[in-house]
C-alpha cells in the first residue's frame, strides 16, 4: 500500500523503498492499472472467471510478480487489496487520507481475525 509519506521513500525493515519504483514495476503487469490495487479489465476477467477464488489467485499472481523480480524487503508482505477505483478529488489528486484510513481498518480487522473487503 502506498500511502501518504513524509518523504519519497517508505521504510521497510530499515531499508528505504522508493514507492515510484514499485509502482513502476507493478504497472507493467497486465492485471494493473494502478496500485492500491485496481485491476485492469484483463485482471477482472481472470479473477471473475476463476469463481470465488479468483481474487485470491489474482492477489497471489501479483505478489509473485513482485517477489520474482524484487529483493525481499520490497515484497508485498502486507497483502493486496482490490478496489474499484482510487479515490481522487475534483482536480484529480489522490485522496491518500482515505487510503490510509482504509488500510488502518484492514490492519485492525486482520488482527481480530476478520476478513474485510475494501469499500473505496
pLDDT recorded at residue 68: 94
d(CA 38, CA 31): 8
**H helix runs in 27-95, sequence order:** 41-49, 54-67
Specify whether the CB–CB gap between 82 and 37 falls below 8 A.
Answer: yes
Tens-digit pLDDT profile for residues 26-53: 767 776 546 577 888 888 887 776 655 6
d(CA 62, CA 7): 26
Strands 15-17, 38-39: pairing kind: unpaired
Report domain extents, the chain: 10-85
**What kind of architecture, by CATH, is found in domain 10-85?**
2-Layer Sandwich (3.30)
Burial class (CB in 10 A: 0-12, 13-18, 19+), 17: middle
Model confidence, pTM: 0.60
Amino acid at each position: 500500500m502506498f500511502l501518504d509519506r513524509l518523504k519519497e521513500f517508505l521504510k521497510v525493515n530499515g531499508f528505504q523503498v522508493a514507492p515510484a519504483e514499485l509502482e513502476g514495476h507493478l504497472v507493467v503487469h497486465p492485471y494493473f492499472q494502478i496500485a492500491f490495487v485496481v485491476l485492469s479489465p484483463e485482471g477482472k476477467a481472470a479473477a471473475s472467471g476463476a469463481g470465488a477464488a479468483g481474487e485470491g489467485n489474482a492477489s497471489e499472481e501479483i505478489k509473485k510478480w513482485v517477489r520474482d523480480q524484487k529483493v525481499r524487503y520490497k515484497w508485498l508482505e502486507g497483502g493486496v487489496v482490490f478496489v474499484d477505483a482510487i479515490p481522487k478529488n475534483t482536480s484529480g489528486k489522490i485522496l491518500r487520507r482515505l487510503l490510509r484510513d482504509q488500510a488502518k481498518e484492514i490492519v485492525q480487522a486482520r488482527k481480530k481475525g476478520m476478513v474485510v473487503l475494501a469499500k473505496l
